[in-house]
Structure 1
Amino acid sequence: MADKLSISAEKRTEFGKGAARRVRRADKIPAVLYGHGGDPIHLTLPGHETMMALKHTNAVLTLAVEGGEDHLALVKDVQRDPIKRTIEHVDLVVIIKGEKVIVDIAVHVEGQAAPETIVTTDYTEISVETDATSIPQSFVVSVEGLEAGTQILAGAVELPEGVTLVTDPEALLVNVRESISEEALEAELAEAEADAGIEHEEPESDEAAEGDEAAAEGDEAKSEDA
């Protein structure tokens, strides 16, 4: 289940790009907390503690806001610098114990399928509805020994009690296919190139190459005699 971490937060009174830059220079992170009909609360979170907390998917935080009451919050969105990957801003949504939330949970594939097969993954996560304070970290499906032609659908994932699948149960998660030999792969490539009208020049034979070389030497000799 998702870890519940406690973080101290300060209320923010300055806004705009300049104020946000000053917050980041102080090794802190701008954030906003919203939900349940209340006004958004603009916060400043401690940089290191927040970064460590956000290593957990669907992190649930207990925010101890200065001068106010604690808030239980689910991390909804994390904005990062596209180059440095540092955290620019965090969106948090208020949650209440006992309420349900819809979240995306990672699906991990484990095991070895049967020999001469290829395992492809169409979806790496599924959406579920679960208790806000008991969010699973991930789900696991096994392909151990599965033969070519086997498919694992979203509805086959084992869910803990109280967790309901939101993703279409018929959604294909994992497909076990027969591996393609090198000869078959080359044949498919050749067929695709033929369909596209791509032609390759035939390689020159050794005899033709020797003839061209002899002719070139003869032309060179004539030039020297002249």
Structure 2
Amino acid sequence: MSNAITLKATVRTGSGKGAARQARRDGRCPAVVYGHGSEPRHILLEEHATRLALRGNENALINIDLEGEDLLAIVKDIQRHPIRPGVQHVDFLLVNRNERVDVEVPVNIIGTSAPGTIHMIELDHVEVTAPAVAIPEAIDVDITGVEGGTIITVADLALPKDVEAISDAELAVVNVTIPTARDAGDAAEGAAAEDGSAPAAE
């Protein structure tokens, strides 16, 4: 991920909850940019563009065009609307293209484990250190044909070049097991519930 996504921003002049609410009503998203020993800078972004830029990639490299000044940053925190789609606030951390950063990257399961097995995700994010311009969108874990009784740990992950794990190497990421009769019954009940049916009363 070496290409930064550009978001245009303006300096935020108002402060307080009232100003923030008004900005959101106007289709703007309040944000703060900090890091590298600089004072936090409060800005406003176009909410729709921000939502699209961050959709599906929580570690996107962002070039903030602040009234003609370029600020390279990554997202440290996102506050989303609890009900409807929408970004309410973003915290950005300033970076430069030559530094490494510590981030949490989501785990992406690929493939299907061996017949008669199920897999359970024990760790959905892995903390890594990576170049600011090469943060992976996700860490792929291929479980194709993996047999029951297999535990894939952080140490087993195939990480991209120049990316190193910070999470404990012994932490379980995926656990492939052979389901018990109870597991099978729970799965059947779940499927019945999704179909809108229910087990017959005894």
- Between structures 1 and 2, the one with greater helix share: 1
Give secondary structure in 1 for the equivalent of 2:33. strand
What are the residue-to-residue correspondences of 1:188-199 with 2, within 5 Å? Answer: none
User: How far is the alpha carbon of 1:86 from its aligned partner?
Assistant: 2.1
Q: Paired residue for 2:106?
A: 106
The count of aligned residue pairs is 186
Q: Paired residue for 1:65?
A: 66
Please tell me the residue identity of whatever aligns with 1:61: I
User: How far is the alpha carbon of 1:44 from its aligned partner?
Assistant: 0.6
Q: How far does the alpha carbon of each residue in 1:5-42 deviate from its partner, in whole angstroms, 9 at most, with x for none? A: 11111001110011111111111111110111111111
Query: RMSD of aligned C-alpha atoms?
Result: 2.0
User: How far is the alpha carbon of 1:3 from its aligned partner?
Assistant: 5.0
Matched, 1:6 2:10: no
Unaligned 5+ runs, structure 2: 187-201
Normalising by structure 2, what TM-score? 0.85
Normalising by structure 1, what TM-score? 0.77
Moved over 4 A (4+): 182-186
Unaligned 5+ runs, structure 1: 187-202, 204-226
Distance 1:148 1:129 in 2: 31
Matched, 1:148 2:148: yes
Identity %, equivalent residues: 39
* Residue 2 to residue 52, structure 1, CA distance change in 2 (3 Å): farther
Cα pair 2:58 2:137 within 8 Å, conserved: yes
Q: Paired residue for 1:195?
A: none
What are the residue-to-residue correspondences of 1:15-34 with 2, within 5 Å? Answer: 15-34=15-34
What are the residue-to-residue correspondences of 1:1-226 with 2, within 5 Å? Answer: 1=1, 4-55=4-55, 56-66=57-67, 69-181=69-181
User: How far is the alpha carbon of 1:119 from its aligned partner?
Assistant: 1.1
Q: Which moved more, 1:113-122 or 1:78-87?
A: 78-87
Please tell me the residue identity of whatever aligns with 1:10: T
Q: How far does the alpha carbon of each residue in 1:118-154 deviate from its partner, in whole angstroms, 9 at most, with x for none? A: 2111011211000011111111112212221111111
* Residue 184 to residue 103, structure 1, CA distance change in 2 (3 Å): closer
User: How far is the alpha carbon of 1:181 from its aligned partner?
Assistant: 2.7
* Residue 161 to residue 47, structure 1, CA distance change in 2 (3 Å): same
Please tell me the residue identity of whatever aligns with 2:165: L
| Greater RCO (Cα-Cα under 8 Å, separation 6 or more) | 2
Question: Larger Rg: 1 or 2?
Answer: 1
User: How far is the alpha carbon of 1:80 from its aligned partner?
Assistant: 1.6
